[in-house]
Structure 1
Amino acid sequence: MKKNLVMTLMFLFVMGLFTTAFAAEKFEVKGQGSVDKNYVSYFAGQKPFNDGASTITQTVSADGILTIKYALQPKGWLGATSEQFQEDWSAFTGLKFKLAGGTKAKIRLELYDANGVSYEATFIDDSANGKLVTLPFSSFKARTDYQPAGVDPDQPFSLVPVKTLNISPLEGKGTILFSELKLYK
Structure 2
Amino acid sequence: MKKNLVFTFVMAFMVSIFSTAFAAEAITVKGPGSADKNYISCFAGQKPFSDGASVIKPIVDSKGVLTIKYELQKGGWLGATCEQFQEDWSNFTGLQFNVAGGTGNKIRLELTDGNGVSYEFVFVDDSAKGKVVTVPFKDFKVRTDYQPAGADTDNPFSLTPVRTLNISPLSGKGTLTFSNMKLYK
Q: TM-score, normalised by structure 1?
A: 0.88
Q: Distance in 2 between matches of 1:24 and 1:51?
A: 28
Partner of 1:103: 103
Matches within 5 A, 1:18-167: 19=19, 22-23=22-23, 25-167=25-167
1:85 Cα deviation after fit = 1.6
1:148 Cα deviation after fit = 1.1
Instruction: Give, as a single letter, the amino acid of the residue that structure 1 aligns with 2:144.
Output: T
Runs of 4+ aligned residues of structure 1 deviating over 3 Å after TM superposition are 18-25
Which consecutive unaligned segments of at least 5 residues does structure 2 have? Answer: none
SS class of match (2:40): helix
1:22 Cα deviation after fit = 3.7
Alignment RMSD: 2.1
1:36 Cα deviation after fit = 0.2
Alpha-carbon displacement from aligned partner over 1:69-120 (angstroms, at most 9, x marks no partner): 0000111100000104200000000000000111111000000001111000
Change (3 A) 1:60 1:172: same
Matched positions, count = 177
Q: Is the 8 A contact 1:27 1:160 kept in 2?
A: no
Q: Is the 8 A contact 1:100 1:177 kept in 2?
A: yes
Instruction: Give, as a single letter, the amino acid of the residue that structure 2 aligns with 1:63.
Output: K
Change (3 A) 1:20 1:36: farther
SS class of match (1:166): strand
Alpha-carbon displacement from aligned partner over 1:143-183 (angstroms, at most 9, x marks no partner): 01111111111111000000000000001100000000000
Which consecutive unaligned segments of at least 5 residues does structure 1 have? Answer: none
Instruction: Give, as a single letter, the amino acid of the residue that structure 1 aligns with 2:68.
Output: I
SS class of match (2:62): coil
Change (3 A) 1:19 1:145: same
1:28 Cα deviation after fit = 1.1
Q: Distance in 1 between matches of 2:86 and 2:179?
A: 21
1:20 Cα deviation after fit = 8.3
Q: Distance in 2 between matches of 1:30 and 1:150?
A: 23
Identity fraction in percent: 69
Q: TM-score, normalised by structure 2?
A: 0.88
